[in-house]
A and B are shown apart, each in its own frame.
Chain A
């Protein structure tokens, strides 16, 4: 059984309650259509289970298959430096159907980022290393495709819909 390495820590982007009993980690790629399909289901999970759920996203860009995967991950991280990681994360998935090189600036403006700073941060080596670090953690955790989910540190073999089903059964 594959487990999450390293465990959720202060370098992660975490959404939800500290006291939540269920931690879901997704390894995802903003250009991956399966991740795009999982996005609304994860939103529904967060809404349905509220305080019981903590959600973490780590990048797993398949750069050869998806040319915008790494730039999109960097855009999310750059937004994160201005405290808006999740706003960019959501905007990227919601606009996945028209993802291209021009989209990032537009989304940055829409969510109210300092555009100049965003552009500079998007090409920073530090953020690139952070994305690579996430990928590395995915490889070591046994990620075999995107999206891959971990529930309380253990690999969950299934899609977002299976995850929803499992949570429904285990919380009632």
Chain B
């Protein structure tokens, strides 16, 4: 897993079938939170995404954009976002499968999904905080919030 201080590997992933998100587009503009999770629809992840959904105004306050990432396809993400009324984008690390998870060191070869991991990336594109959670445990948001507060201009 990539640690604090590492340059965050750039990526370009679909947020919807016709919209791509490039990490480098946020450089100099926004902090980025990446929440890797194993799969849409599984109970723990859903709670986790539901929690982040409630926290968007916190993230906005700290000038941060959150993305969920899993190996599910864009169509699966769309259905999941609609069903859970999510107001942030889920990125499809779908083809070639798990490339971004592998680059961040959080791909589980055995299950063929990403692990449950959080990264906060600062405006210079550096990893400011990272956390690997046990797969069955929703990591909450306190760690993300503390990392963002440290990034706030003094």
Contact = CB atoms under 8 A, between A and B. Distances in A.
Nearest to A136: B58
A140 B145 contact: yes
A164 B87 CA distance: 37
Interface residues of A, number: 13
B139 A144 contact: yes
B55 interface: yes
Nearest to B47: A145
A139 B58 contact: yes
B54 A141 contact: no
A83 B137 CA distance: 38
Nearest to A67: B85
Interface in B118-149: 137-142, 145
B87 A143 contact: no
Given A62-B54, A139-B55, A139-B58, A144 B47 contact: yes
A143 B140 contact: yes
Given A139-B142, A142-B142, A143-B140, A64 B54 contact: yes
B84 to A, nearest CB: 7
Contacts of B51: 62, 143-145
Interface string A140-158: 1111110000000000000
Given A64-B50, A64-B54, A2 B84 contact: no
A144 B138 contact: yes
B65 interface: no
B79 to A, nearest CB: 16
A37 to B, nearest CB: 15
B48 to A, nearest CB: 7
Contacts of A140: 142, 145
Given A139-B58, A139-B145, A145-B51, A64 B140 contact: no
A126 interface: no
A55 to B, nearest CB: 22
Contacts of A145: 47, 50-51, 138
A145 B47 CA distance: 6
Interface of B: 47-48, 50-51, 53-55, 58, 84-87, 137-142, 145
16 contacts: A2-B142, A62-B50, A62-B54, A64-B84, A64-B86, A65-B53, A135-B54, A141-B142, A142-B140, A143-B51, A143-B140, A144-B139, A144-B140, A145-B47, A145-B51, A145-B138
Given A144-B47, A144-B51, 6 more contacts: A64-B53, A64-B84, A64-B85, A65-B85, A139-B145, A144-B139
